[in-house]
Amino acid sequence: MTRSGLFIVLLSFLPFFEGFQAGQNHVLTLVLVIGITVATLSGRWYLAGLLAGFLLYKPQFVLGILIIWLIWREYKALASFTAVAVAWAGVVVVSHGFAPYMAYLGTIDQILWLPFIKGWPAYLMATPYGCW
């Protein structure tokens, strides 16, 4: 399949539009995870770390990758990840202080229960809760 054909398929894929309309970022997450995987397997450590830094909005995905890089002692990937993470977090701290991080930490215990809230759009979830 050509790139343009793949682009047309992606743009005509209903789950893409449903998720995008609901404010989901699954396509960006998938692209970043694939990019990290390809860069890691090809030994492009700075690029892999850079992409992992951009995936920091989903820390649950990044943590496993960082552990693997620590075990493999891939310090180039870890360094580029750290640079992006510090820059990203630094912009937030300079513009808004630590309040957004404290608010996030204060709501972590509620996140698990989101699928059980009446009116939650469970059909958008790709979890066992989405089947209920």
pTM attached to this predicted model: 0.72
Most confident of 23-27, 33-37, 38-42, 100-104: 38-42
CB of 65 closer than 8 Å to CB of 29: no
User: What is the pLDDT at residue 129?
Assistant: 46
What SS3 state is found at 74? coil
Using CA atoms of 23, 130, 52, 28 in order, give the dihedral in degrees to the nearest 10.
-40
pLDDT digits (tens, 9 = 90+) for 71-128: 999 999 999 999 999 999 999 999 999 999 899 888 888 877 777 777 776 665 655 4
CB of 84 closer than 8 Å to CB of 50: yes
CB of 127 closer than 8 Å to CB of 114: no
CB of 77 closer than 8 Å to CB of 46: yes
Tell me the C-alpha distance between 110 and 113, whole Å: 6
Supply 96's token pair: 């808004």
pLDDT digits (tens, 9 = 90+) for 12-24: 777 777 777 777 7
127: which DSSP letter?
Answer: S
